[in-house]
Amino acid sequence: METSYCLFEINQCQAAVDTAYVEEVFALPELVLIPNAPLGVIGVLDRRGDTLPIVDLQVNSESQPRHYHLSDSIIVLQQADLNIGIIVNSVQGIKELSASDIKADMDKQQEESNLNLKRFFSGMVTDESDILILNSPQAWFKTGEIQQVISVTRSLADDFYRAQPEKALSETQLLDDTSITTFAPAVTPEDRAIFHQRAKNLRQSLDEKSAITESRALIVVSLGDNLFGIDSNLVREFITISQATPVPCCPKHIIGAINLRGKVLVVIDITQSLGLPLKALQRLPKAIVVEYQDSLIAIVVEEIRDALFSATLSDIQEVTDNAQIMGSDYAQGQVPYGDQIIQILDLPKLLDVSELIVSESF
C-alpha cells in the first residue's frame, strides 16, 4: 500500500513525512529561542494566538547558534493533541511511497546527515536518492513528555511576550542584539527585520484567528505566464517524465503513456483546454500525478511553484463571468499569490470534458 509523503530538504538530505500529519507550511519567522529547553525543542513562536513549539531535527552542538536563512521553512505537524513545527531548508513536493520500501537501517546516513536520526526518523527509502522517513510526531516523545512540551514551552513563551511588548525595532537595535539567545544573530539587519515581520504577521488576536482558521491546501503550478492551483487532495506526487510511449490514434493533448512503478499512466497536456497556446515540451517535462475516477493521470506542467500553499478561504475571490482570464471556465475562484493571481482549477470538471476523456483500452 502506498502513502502520500511530503518531501523536504534538510542539511543537504532529502526527507519525507506522511502528509496526514502536515497541517501547514510557511516561511521561517523569528523564533523565541529557549536555551536548554527539554526534548529537542529549540524555541517557540506565536501562531495566531497559540504557542507552537519548534524542534530542530539536527544534532545539537554545544553553545553554537544555528545558521538560519530566509529561504528556510516551518512545517507544522499535528497528531492528536500535539502540534509541533520543524525547520526545513525547503519543501520539495509530494511523493507516493510504499511501506514495504522503508528500511529501518539508517547507519550509513548517521554521520553524513548530522540529523538526530534515532529520535526523529523511523527509516529510509533507497530510491533514485536516499529519502529519510520522519517518524510520527508522537513517537518522538515518551509517555507524559508531550504534555511537558506543551506546558513548558507555553509558559516560557508567555513570560517572553509579557517582557517584550510589541514594538518596532530600529536597525541599530537589530544590529546590536546578537546574543546567543537571539534568533539568527549572524544575519544582516535587513534579513533580521524580515524574520521579525514574519513573526509579527503570524501573531494575531483570537478574533482574527477565528476568521482565518479555514483554509484550502493547493498545489501551485505554472503554465505559460499563468499560475493555477490544484486541490492537494487530488495530487499524489510530482514526477519528471524521462520518456513517454506514444499512443496511436489519440488527439494532440495525449502525449503518451508511462510506466510508474508498474502502473501505466496516461500523460496529458491541458494547456489548450485552458485557452493557452500549445508549446513544445521541455526535454524532461515535469508532471503532477492526480487521481481521477479511480485512475492515475499525469498532467504536464512547466513548473511546480509551490508544493503546499495554504489559501485562506476569506482570501479566495469569485471569478466574474466577464473575466478575461485563461482557464476561467474551469476556475473555482482566484487568490492572490505575491504580485500574481492563482486560478483555482476545478480539475474534475476539466477532466470530464469530452475531448479529454481517455480510453484505457489501449
For the stretch 288-345, pLDDT in tens is 999 888 888 999 998 888 877 888 888 888 886 545 555 568 889 999 888 889 999 9
Same structural domain for residues 263 and 323?
yes
Residue 192 lies in a domain: yes
Cα separation, 193 vs 212, whole angstroms: 25
Measured CA to CA, the distance from residue 218 to residue 241 in angstroms comes to 22
The answer to whether residue 80 sits within a structural domain is yes
The three three-digit cell numbers of residue 240, written as one number: 519528471
Q: What is the DSSP letter of 346?
A: -
Q: Has residue 241 been placed in a domain?
A: yes
143 & 42 share domain? yes
Using CA atoms of 160, 47, 23, 318 in order, give the dihedral in degrees to the nearest 10.
Answer: -170
Q: What are phi and psi of 143, to 5 degrees?
A: -55, 130
CATH number at 82 reads 2.40.50.180
- Evaluate whether residue 361 is within a structural domain: no
Residues 24 and 105 grouped into a single domain: yes
The three-point CA angle 246-251-256 to 5° equals: 25
Q: Which of 209, 243, 275 is the last residue of a domain?
A: 209
Q: Do 126 and 259 belong together in one domain? A: no
Q: What pLDDT does 65 receive?
A: 59
Domain count, the chain: 2
In terms of domains, do 113 and 194 share one?
yes
Q: How far apart are CA 46 and CA 99, in angstroms?
A: 35
Would residue 362 count as lying in a domain? no
| Final residue belonging to a domain, choices 189, 209, 229 | 209
Last residue of a domain, one of 209, 241, 272: 209
Give dist(CA 361, CA 263) in Å, integer. Answer: 14
Is 205 in the same domain as 220? no
Residue 158 lies in a domain: yes
Examine residue 257 and state whether it is found in any structural domain, yes or no.
yes
**C-alpha cell belonging to residue 176:** 546590536
The answer on 267 and 161 residing in a single domain is: no
Same domain, 126 and 99: yes
Q: What distances in angstroms separate CA 139 from CA 25, 97, 144, one per listed residue?
A: 21, 20, 12
- Per-residue pLDDT for the chain (362 aa), expressed as one digit of tens each? 678 899 999 888 899 999 999 988 888 999 988 777 667 788 888 887 788 889 888 765 555 557 888 889 999 999 988 889 999 998 888 888 888 888 887 766 655 666 777 788 888 888 667 899 999 998 888 766 766 666 766 666 666 666 655 444 443 343 344 344 678 888 888 888 888 888 888 876 444 555 545 778 888 999 988 999 999 888 888 888 888 888 777 777 888 888 887 888 889 999 888 888 777 777 788 889 998 888 889 999 988 888 778 888 888 888 865 455 555 688 899 998 888 899 999 998 888 864 555 544 44
* Integer Cα distance of 115 and 61 in angstroms: 11
134 Rama sector, left if φ>0, alpha if ψ -120 to 50, beta otherwise: beta
In a domain, residue 299? The reply is yes
Mark whether 82 and 203 lie in a shared domain.
yes
How confident is the model at residue 362, as a pLDDT? 46
Same domain, 310 and 329: yes
- Containing structural domain, residue 8: 2-209
Name the residue with cell 484550502.
216
Task: Tell me which DSSP letter residue 58 carries.
Answer: B
User: Does 290 share its domain with 188?
Assistant: no
345 close to 229: Cβ distance less than 8 angstroms? yes
* Residue 290 three-state SS: strand
353/265 Cα distance (integer angstroms): 19
Is 119 in the same domain as 268?
A: no
Would you state the pLDDT for residue 333?
92
Would the pTM count as exceeding 0.75?
A: no
Is 147 strand, coil or helix?
A: helix
